[in-house]
Amino acid sequence: MPIPNKELHRAGRTGWLRAAVLGANDGILSTASLVLGVAAAHATHTNLLVAGVAGLVAGSMSMAAGEYVSVHSQADTEQADLALERAELKADDKGEHKELMAIYVARGLKPALAKQVAEQLMAHDAIGAHARDELGISETFRAHPIQAALASAGSFAVGAALPLVVTVIAPATVLIPLVAGTSLVFLALLGGLAARAGGAGVTMGAIRVTFWGALAMTLTAGVGALFGTFA
């Protein structure tokens, strides 16, 4: 029997999309804020670039390491649950049949049909049926540490490069407003694109990111100006 074409749902994007959006957002925001803070302290243009590049490298590695550890912990938990489920299937196959049947009855199937479904699914792939219907583990939502780490590091670097490019080409007299303004535009575009990819409202997604970005850059520039005054 031919397998029907799989529909493309947004839920399948959540793993890599979350990591990529978070990475790019952090790259833009942290690098722009760093540049603005240092610029407000009256640093030279060379020092601004050094600080920005250092922030890009450190931030990319930090995002990759943090995402890898976090998602790997989730993957370890999934594997431990699956190992426990395999042991239970081996020790009490009939009890696991009843457990799966009870799940289907709770979802609305009649007992006779639930029993039939449980028997057929367990005959086909017992651990897969329990992983999906008892533990909530499916291929769509499985943890992928390497994928998440690479997505975070790469997207952070791309995001961080945007305010750095502006820093390179911006005249010193308008560097602060130009970096701040373009970074807010980048953040708004990113928020809108992420919201659209996830099926949410584009306008609200852009507003959320822009608001918090403006707040972070304002506070960082303020701290830089304060310390620059006393330096």
Which tokens go with 158? 């791309």
The 3-state DSSP class for residue 91 equals: helix
- Backbone angles phi and psi of 3, in degrees to 5: -85, 125
Q: Alpha-carbon distance 70 to 23, whole Å?
A: 14
19 in a structural domain: no
Rg (CA), the chain: 25
Give residue 68's domain range: 33-230
Identify whether 126 is part of a domain.
yes
Confidence of residue 8 (pLDDT cuts 50, 70, 90): very low
Give the pair of three-digit tokens for residue 220.
């960082």
Specify the amino acid at residue 59: G
In 87-226, beta strands by DSSP E: none
Rounded Cα distance, 152 and 143, in Å: 14
pLDDT at 10 over 50: no
| Domains contained in the chain, number | 1
User: pLDDT at residue 227 above 50?
Assistant: yes
Question: What are the backbone dihedrals phi and psi of residue 44, each rounded to the nearest 5 degrees, phi first?
Answer: -75, 165
Tokens of 104: 């289907």
Q: Is residue 179 part of a domain?
A: yes
Query: Mind listing the pLDDT tens digit for each residue in 143-153?
Result: 678 887 888 88
What b-and-e string marks burial along 81-113, b requiring 16 or more CB atoms within 10 Å of the CB? Answer: bbeebeeebeeeeeebbeebbebbbeeebeeee
Distance in angstroms between the alpha carbons of the first and the last residue of the chain: 76
What is the per-residue pLDDT across 66-122, written as a single tens digit (0 to 9) for each?
888 888 887 777 778 777 777 877 777 777 778 778 888 888 788 888 888 777 877
**Residue 66 lies inside a defined structural domain of this protein:** yes
Taking residues 132-157, what's their average pLDDT? 75
Is 159 contained in some domain?
yes
Q: Please give the average per-residue pLDDT across 222-226, as a whole number.
A: 86
For residues 206 and 189, give the distance between their C-alpha atoms in angstroms, rounded to a whole number. Answer: 7
* Each residue's pLDDT tens digit, 39-76: 998 888 899 999 999 999 999 999 889 888 888 887 77
pLDDT band at 229 (very low <50, low <70, confident <90, very high): low
Half-sphere exposure of 145 (CA within 13 A, CB side): 13
Asked if residue 2 is part of any domain, the answer here is no
pLDDT beyond 90 at 17 = no
Q: What is the mean pLDDT of the chain?
A: 80
In a domain, 23, yes or no: no
Q: Is residue 26 domain-resident?
A: no
What does the alpha-carbon distance between residue 153 and residue 148 come to, in Å, rounded to a whole number? Answer: 9
The angle that helices 202-230 and 175-197 make with each other, rounded to 10 degrees, is: 150
